[in-house]
Amino acid sequence: MIDSIPQAAVVGGSIVAFAGDLPESHREDIYLSTMYAQRATRDAVRDGLSGDWFDFYRNTLKYIGWDVPAPETLSAVRDDVMGELALQRISARMGEMFSSPLRRALVALEKNALALKLFESTSLSQDAGCFQMIPCSLKGPNKVEMGLYHRQFTIRQSVSRFLFVDSVKQVHSSTEQMSVITFNTLYYAQFREKVKKAVLSQSMEYLRSLEI
């Protein structure tokens, strides 16, 4: 399905990074599921079927077999750079095993103009934006533990860049949420072909590899 399965990638408005030596099949499952859920959520929000982006996104993942507990809403803090704050949040909540591959992915993303443009343009819509960061680590033979960090924000004026720039003056309001997920690949197997077929109907233009 995906010719080469990278250790990290931009998937639309998400950054996915893997710790350790996850099998390629696990990585592909997670990339395609993320792409599937984002597309379904974008369509639902665009068509007025949902006003809560993250709630619909999580429910879509549940629909294809993911175990996604209710998210924790994080206390508001002043931040200058969204990418740095997200990394700090994940490090504090999940530790170095998860924050380290994500840190390398962000370093690679800042140097990759095409991947950064894809991520930021997909994340932004007029005066609002949202994105996910999803670090993953193998938990057992058929299980992957993941952090699902989500940030949703409104901005005072139209911008094209936000992840690596000072955001204090441009962000009007913001909410951060996070869930810790265990992805069971055996259970997901019953949904795998359905997700692949759905994703096959769109191009792979929403995925960009990051070298970490």
Domain count, the chain: 1
Residue 108 in any domain: the answer is: yes
Residue 58 in any domain: the answer is: yes
Which tokens hold the place of 141? 């033979």
Low-confidence stretches of the chain (pLDDT beneath 70): 1-3, 168, 201-205
Residue 2 in any domain: the answer is: no
Return the pLDDT at 96. Answer: 94
Return the pLDDT at 119. Answer: 96
Q: Which residue in the block uniquely carries the two structure tokens 């993941």?
A: 146
CA distance 143 to 147: 13
CA distance 106 to 211: 10
At residue 171, the 3 state secondary structure works out as strand
Which CATH number does the domain housing residue 67 bear?
Answer: 3.40.198
Residue 39 in any domain: the answer is: yes
Q: Global pTM?
A: 0.92
Amino acid at 211: E
* Main-chain phi, psi angles of 197, to 5 degrees: -65, -40
Which tokens hold the place of 36? 């599937």
Segment 29-57, tens digit of pLDDT = 999 999 999 999 989 988 887 778 999 99
Residue 40 in any domain: the answer is: yes
Sign (positive/negative) of CA torsion 71, 35, 91, 21?
A: positive
Return the pLDDT at 2. Answer: 60
Return the pLDDT at 48. Answer: 84
Burial code (b: 16+ CB inside 10 Å, e: under 16) for 48-78 equals eebeebbebbbbbbeebbbebeebeebeeee
Domain extent for 17: 8-210
Residue 1 in any domain: the answer is: no
Return the pLDDT at 138. Answer: 93
Residue 86 in any domain: the answer is: yes
Return the pLDDT at 193. Answer: 94
Return the pLDDT at 1. Answer: 56
Using the 8-state DSSP alphabet, how is residue 71 labeled?
A: P
Query: Which of 190, 93, 94, 183 is CA-nearest to residue 138?
Result: 183
Return the pLDDT at 202. Answer: 67
Which tokens hold the place of 148? 């699902």
Sign (positive/negative) of CA torsion 85, 6, 196, 188?
A: negative
Residue 27 in any domain: the answer is: yes
Return the pLDDT at 203. Answer: 60
Amino acid at 209: S
